[in-house]
Amino acid sequence: MTGDSSRPVLKVRDLTVEFVTEDGVVRAVDSVSFDVQPNETLGLVGESGCGKTVTGLAMLRLIPMPPGRIASGSIELDGRDLVPLPNRDLEDLRGRELSMIFQEPMTALNPVFTIGNQMTDVLCRHRDLTRRQARPVAAELLAKVGIPEPANRLDDYPHQLSGGMRQRVMIAMALSCNPKLLIADEPTTALDVTTQAQVLAQFRTLQAEFRMAVILVTHDLGVVAETCSGPSSCTAAALSSRGRPQTCSAARGIPTPRASWPRFPGCAVTGYPSCR
């Protein structure tokens, strides 16, 4: 099933990200292009070290900029190129139009502030709410991600929650301002298998409810299969170990790297322009 409009939410063209190290300039992402349609999931897969996390971070310009830099390319969110955007404008977009959740829920949350505090920070930043108004909204969001007794949890600190709950809190925060696009960087890698399944299931429901596009960065094909086995369409973009898009078999538009990739049921696998 394709998205409701033909214009992609995100259009990435020839993105190249480099890092200056003492051994020279290293290219982590090399001329990558892909589109993400509204309401769709794009799985960004590849082996460890292929540059998929850096690609995800580059969308929000979260790469540490002294050693790193976006050498070339464009990232268009709803037609607007993010690469030349000044920081202040980017700060307005982050969390509101584009959100990201990270791999390590343990360290991704600030240990010395309560969950409620951190969530209301985001809510007050992007939605016109006072702290007091934001609290019930935060509680509601926690309920939506499946956290029991959400109102009480608001006063808890991150270390008082389990890994799965922390990740759900992160998801709640990411969804709180109704972003158009969510980037999920290995969201379940740090969780045990049972929690993984639960969180992913929640994820799928939420995506449908909030009608967002999602970029799912992962090295775990099982996760891709899980997320893509549903009504939302899914594209797989594979990055080679050198951060380049994988060569595809032109005929069927399926990326065929060294090992052959399984077909994902329910996935409309589209070839994309830079597939050679």
5-8: Cβ within 8 A, 24+ apart: 5/37, 5/38, 7/38, 7/78, 7/79, 8/35, 8/36, 8/37, 8/38
φ and ψ of 184, to 5 deg: -110, 110
Determine contact, residues 167/107, Cβ cutoff 8 Å. no
CB of 45 to another protein, least distance (A): 14
Binding residue for another protein (CB under 8 A) from 13, 74, 76, 121? 121
- Provide the CA 47 distance to its chain's centre, in angstroms: 17
- Judged by CB under 8 A, the chain residues 188 through 217 that form the site for another protein are none
Determine contact, residues 261/255, Cβ cutoff 8 Å. yes
Interface with another protein includes 128 (CB under 8 A)? Answer: no
Amino acid at 241: S
Interface with another protein includes 60 (CB under 8 A)? Answer: yes
Token representation of residue 63: 């790469």
- Judged by CB under 8 A, the chain residues 79 through 98 that form the site for another protein are 87-88, 90-96
Binding mask 132-171 for another protein (x = CB under 8 A): -------------------------x-x----------x-
Binding footprint of another protein, residue count (CB under 8 A) = 49
Instruction: Name the residues that contact another protein, by CB under 8 A.
Output: 19-24, 26-28, 48-49, 51, 53-54, 60, 62, 66-67, 87-88, 90-96, 99-100, 102, 104, 107-113, 121-122, 125-126, 157, 159, 170, 173, 241-243
